[in-house]
Structure 1
Amino acid sequence: MVSITADILISGGLLVSGTSITKMDVVVTGEKITDLLPHPSNIDAKRIIDAKGLYVLPGLIDAHNHPINLDKMDSFTLSAAFGGITTVIPFMQNMRSRGIDGTTSETIDRFIEESNEISYLDFGVHAILFGDDDVEIEVPKLIENGIISFKMYMTYPRRGMMMPDDRMLKAMSLASEAGGIAMVHAENGYCIDFLTDNFIDEGLTSREYYAKSQPRILEVEAANRAATYASVTDCPLYVVHLSAREVLDVLRGYREEGNYVFTETCPQYLDLTNETLMEHGALAKIGPPLRERADNAAMWEGLQNNIIDTIASDFCGFSKAHKYAGG
């Protein structure tokens, strides 16, 4: 018997790493994995979990979520834990549109204080910057407080969420100078509103016109524009929830030129298509919209070729009633 006493021994499971699947024992002391040993390791432990015949995977990080609607950090992190998630990185924004006073940095301070009390999981925070945020004040202050990632919307101008291009450039410049990273929701919001208005004027408001109001070219254009701005300001860029296959070649090109461009897709863009929207209606209405089977295949290929870095949920916590009401 090895003279080591661990808190937990996960024994005899099939350990999945980045390169292999091997029968191993996982030794846990406190809240840390302290050793990985060939099975049987004969480690003495206070608690032994028999993982024979089971896969043992590293804890997952969900780097994109919005627990600000029905779910807060208690119920959200509890459900995430049941799905194998051990760390979440939510987005937090100013809540002035919901009648709650305060800047983005003040809102994030309150969010962190509350989450420290109620979260079941480790967590980080991304900031969202809206067009009404004072980026000259907020970006340096947030970075000083350890929040180094800033998401900006290139769409939703009528909701007051879109960041004007000149302010985006300023935010990227400030982030670059202080070691931050810009993130974007890449869709051309003005074009979407133009197309939407035209469809409404023509009485074309049924579900088959949703994807047509947000065509793939508008994601490609916005991603290219964001990457251009990031290149000009020498700011690292993270483009969230990619859905259109053409955007991968665009962003690959910026990488090949030496720019720091990181990419993300979501499970829904790996598996679902616009046919899901046609079948389920509002429940499958998301932005960017679900695309086609060829786009699913391209996202999988992007993961295999390391063009896509991250899979994240983009969880928002809406109810069915909210979705059917147009939320």
Structure 2
Amino acid sequence: MQAPKPTEFSLDLAADLNKWRVFLAIGELGSLTRAAIFLDSNQSLLSRQVNALERECGARLFNRTGRGVELSDIGQRLFPQVKDLLANAQMLEAEIRSNVHEPMGRVTLGLLPSIGATMIPRLFKEVRSRYPGVSLKVLEGSSGQVEEWLADARVDIAIFYRYGATLPEQERALAVVDSCLIGHKGDTLTARGDVAFKALDGLSFILPSAPNGLRTALDAVARQQHVSLGTVIEADSLPLMKSLVAEQGLYTVLPVHAVWSEVQAAHLQAARIVDPPIQRTVAMVFARTKGPSRAITVVSQHIVSVVDEMARSGMWRSGGAGVRAA
């Protein structure tokens, strides 16, 4: 019987996968600057790495343009194979770590600033104390940005708001959030526990600019109720909204957890909007192109735990009661 022969592999260019990770990031983002931000590196280092990789390949992988870089013909042919190579390497690494060691690795979260400000400190404390091998990377942006990061697998877990009674099948409802009218200290309207939507008529608001889920919902209800929302300034910055409400006597609409510390310190006031209420669901979803590693799984479990803790303190209602999958 002939003795079995080992499989022979001769690796040179593929021996160091990190250089191909750089290639992939630049190819996807079309910019050295954006790739440097994504990889926590710097532009000059990535430029040197690309030049070295092109010398090793003996071919130009990118064409420089006035707006950034784009894949050359050779780069375009290599791109899907490199992406598959790195995806397989990542799955292998996750499998090894999940079966041999405690959860390890970096988990990237994409979420809205109004959620992150209160959730992340609690989540970081729990994960760091129980799983020292797991690190967190947090990206904050608008709902549209978070969904784009999710589609591109730039984040492992996305958390955002959904409006309506149903969720896509792959999304998990974490909590139901009431929208509140936010006013300055001593404001008589927001001193009440609840405020009818019609009471918003003629008030001076700072609101997020469209397209925005909350803005769309507010405008739709305002049309139905024949209410005029006096939007005197538009801003997508949560700190700016809080500042102008406190200092300039404007109003805004936010979930109470977004102003929790300011309300507790009596710097701002919040009254729940009713008749009709404006509610949204906090939803969590995994990137479709990534199978959850143990690190991602334990972080998601702690997210649920933190959401329940926040619900017990009165920030929202946990469980997403009444929300069903589409």
Work out whether the TM-score is over 0.5. no
TM-score (norm 2): 0.24
Which one scores higher on RCO, CA 8 angstroms, separation ≥ 6?
2
> In terms of Rg, which structure is larger?
2
